[in-house]
Structure 1
């Protein structure tokens, strides 16, 4: 008799492991780390589980993701067909994106979670966990890198983003939509993804470089940068407007950073369309910022751009390499 396929589950906490009070509010981490992690699986599948943390996802740390990466690799080396990570939804897309820079195995690494606590009526955690386990076993998921599974849909880590703070249908993929639907024995692929970009491999650092996101809108000239010590930043991501534009008076401050060797990446606050390279040429436009030494984030959200820049800086990337890696996400 053939041994059952094995999927290893690593839990980091989040709503899927939380319980709400009698009023149906004030969800908090449950005392038992297995809370919400009960889901029907096929008889020929063995699911093992190890808790890594039990926190709200804003408190997940790079060191915990480094542990997840190491444990996931060990599980696959030990015969697991794939690995599932349960995670809070607030920063699930960030952890998926960061893990995708280092996950270099064919086996699927699948993140999922829940929008409703484990003891809530209509809790969505069990169904999401079941679908994540199915995805971890799916032949069509192999080689796709890190995936996010939610509401029966499969998203690529580099495209998924949270679009609702309340709905169980909380995630979408820009600009392509989900890559697949979850089936009982395999995925139903909607399209064939392109080759993965910016795959670093190796170990995920316990500490990431200091790279904040600075949002610049109407009347904001980035004066905050004047108050920082010269060595306060190891990189900067600017959340601009439109196709990656900032107020004219901010450009000089950003140019001063790039002249000192501090990489500056410009993203946009607009949910769809990303940044451009050559649509506009006026003070503060993308062409002006590129002349000032900035790099455009393309399709990446500001926070994904931050994580990619942090990973590249931690890897010792120079300005040319940083520019090349971000070009892969351009339009």
Structure 2
């Protein structure tokens, strides 16, 4: 959808509500002193405003994204829902890039409106030469206004491309083209219009009928979420850190495994013990593409052995997203079968 320049700014059909959590997009420090939060949020939003769109702006926080907590995301959900229920075409959230993919995943799992909720940010401070924030904000607003993107849940828009919130990954710590979609590629190109490159089957549904949203419902996002650590196992590490773990000290565990979701054979007794105690164990893979398997290998510590021991496989989810999904499922008090159903949505 192209947004015509002569569209009345007062038309509620093109009103977009922008929420901000801070991040590099609102930071200054291009003089070499190190970027730090500034106070120019409204200026960055105004600089990136497409013609013919009315934007309202509301600051939730102004922090680096490693400090984002579930309570911040709860506030974002409440305010974005209220804005679209009051007539906004969509909502945009500016967010630091470090943990943006995590927030996109959580918000997508709980966003139950057809209007897009679009996350964006910047890789360069607002006072840096070639600052990418204004262009990303402009494209995010265009995406939030585009009818082609309704019903697709939460999106992330960077460097002219839109990505599904469940799939987006930060793939570079430095490039302005830092984000990609794993494994399927970008959803759409955003310039003066939203040009779909693919359309997920879930996009044909009402947003509230997307499988994960339906499964999780609308829980009050607790802060903190249930305690679910992530451990990485490799050569010479058989999970000894789990020895003597007090019963009840963790609600679940995610293992960042190797290959198709494999762990050292010596770790298996420790993982079996947790499962026997009722602690769900999810195994992901540290490999960026391909996800975990269910049937390729059957040696001790393989995916077949893990599944037979009661562990779950994360599928295409990296460990940090698998952790969030398990935390959301535990917060919702899903049964073991329900947790399995949630992870089955991401099976590879």
TM range (shorter): over 0.9
Aligned to 1:18: 27
Give the drift of 1:325. 1.3
Aligned to 1:133: 141
Does the alignment pair 1:91 with 2:99? yes
Q: Assess if the C-alpha contact under 8 Å between 1:35 and 1:118 holds in 2.
A: no
Q: Assess if the C-alpha contact under 8 Å between 1:215 and 1:238 holds in 2.
A: yes
Give the distance between the partners of 2:163 and 2:324, measured in 1 at CA.
18
Q: Assess if the C-alpha contact under 8 Å between 2:26 and 2:39 holds in 1.
A: no
Give the drift of 1:219. 1.0
For residues 225-270 of structure 1, the C-alpha deviation after alignment (integer angstroms, 9 at most, x for no partner) is: 1142111110111000000000001011011001111011000000
Q: Assess if the C-alpha contact under 8 Å between 1:102 and 1:204 holds in 2.
A: no
Give the drift of 1:33. 4.1
Give the drift of 1:32. 4.2
Q: Assess if the C-alpha contact under 8 Å between 1:243 and 1:286 holds in 2.
A: yes
TM-score (norm 2): 0.92
Provide structure 2 residue ranges, at least 5 long, that are not aligned to the other structure: 1-6, 203-209
Does the alignment pair 1:150 with 2:158? yes
- Residue among 274, 281, 286 paired with 2:303: 286
- Residue among 82, 86, 97 paired with 2:90: 82
- Aligned-residue Cα RMSD (Å) equals 1.3
> Could you say if the C-alpha distance between residues 32 and 42 of structure 1 is closer, same or farther in structure 2, counting changes exceeding 3 Å?
closer
Give the drift of 1:201. 3.4
TM-score (norm 1): 0.96
Give the drift of 1:50. 0.5
Q: Assess if the C-alpha contact under 8 Å between 2:30 and 2:128 holds in 1.
A: no
- Residue among 10, 13, 17 paired with 1:8: 17
- Residue among 209, 212, 216 paired with 1:198: 212
Q: Work out the number of aligned pairs and report it.
A: 329
Give the drift of 1:287. 0.3
More helix by share: 2
Provide structure 1 residue ranges, at least 5 long, that are not aligned to the other structure: none
- Moved segments of 4+, more than 2 Å: 1-4, 31-44, 203-207
- Residue among 41, 45, 51 paired with 2:59: 51
Give the distance between the partners of 1:194 and 1:151, measured in 2 at CA.
25
Give the drift of 1:36. 3.0
Aligned to 1:253: 270
